[in-house]
Amino acid sequence: MKILYGTTNPSKIKWMKKMLEGLDIELLTLNDVKLQLGTIDESGNKPLENARIKALAYYKAAKIPVFSCDSGLYIEGLNEEEQPGVHVRRIHGKTLNDEEMIEYYSGISRSLGGKAIARYRNAICLVIDEKQIFEYDGEKIASEKYIIAAKPHKNRDEGFPLNSLSVHIESGKYYMDIKTPIKEDENEANAYKEFFMKALKRQTEYKVQ
């Protein structure tokens, strides 16, 4: 099945292709199709709300199965009003570029003692058609807790600037220095595969009926 992934972010595309390896899915991206679509107003306050807004907008424009994902960042030690949540890049009304994000979040880490504990809560919305919409934002696709470091790694991952600040809690290593797959990464990949497998199975059963 051809499914459109609603993003142009090269790092996200690479990551999702890896997540879906082994499934009978041909992943298309916004770079592969031409859509007459303006800026999408991601006005949701939670990751699932924004994932749904984007997926429905892209489906209406493309008229093929499409999914979108969204994430919210939550940092221990910050009160609710200070949490980045779904506005990871937009701070005080300004959309930060990669380097500005690294500077901002390393500053938060310093204010919390140099080792801020953080976690992403993720959501996905898959729209097959108007009647078949599948969503998930549970624990299975939430990230494990990790450390946001005060000192950035020397390397950068375009589109994922906070990877330069992300440190694995158990090993104390920057994720960018870990070459072998980490168990929690494998668990997250399996969760995404499970989501698509269940959705496509239900979609097939719907067609049969």
Which pLDDT score is estimated for 195? 94
CA 137 to CA 121: how far, in whole Å?
7
Q: Could you give the angle at which helices 10-19 and 183-208 cross, rounded to 10 degrees?
A: 70
CA 164 to CA 153: how far, in whole Å?
5
Paired with 111 in beta bridges are none
Closest-CA residue to 160 (of 107, 115, 88, 98): 98
Q: Kindly state the tokens that stand for 117.
A: 């504990």
**Under a CB-based contact definition with an 8 Å cutoff, are residues 70 and 5 in contact?**
no
First to last CA, the chain: 19
Predicted confidence band at 184 (pLDDT cuts at 50, 70, 90)? low
Predicted confidence band at 110 (pLDDT cuts at 50, 70, 90)? very high
pLDDT tens-digit readout, 26-83:
999 888 887 777 778 878 889 999 999 999 999 999 999 999 999 999 999 999 989 9
Which pLDDT score is estimated for 182? 67
Rounded to the nearest integer, the mean pLDDT of the chain is 90
Predicted confidence band at 19 (pLDDT cuts at 50, 70, 90)? confident
Predicted confidence band at 111 (pLDDT cuts at 50, 70, 90)? very high
Strand 132-136 relative to strand 94-95, pairing: unpaired
Closest-CA residue to 125 (of 60, 54, 183): 54
Which pLDDT score is estimated for 207? 58
Query: Is 181 a residue whose pLDDT tops 80?
Result: no
Of all residues in the chain, the percent with pLDDT exceeding 70 is 95
Query: Is 209 a residue whose pLDDT tops 80?
Result: no
pLDDT tens-digit readout, 198-207:
998 887 766 5
Catalytic residues: 70
Closest-CA residue to 85 (of 120, 109, 124, 55): 120
Residue with structure tokens 């200070």? 82
Query: Is 139 a residue whose pLDDT tops 70?
Result: yes
Task: Count CA within 13 A, CB hemisphere, residue 124.
Answer: 21
Which pLDDT score is estimated for 206? 60
CA 161 to CA 177: how far, in whole Å?
15
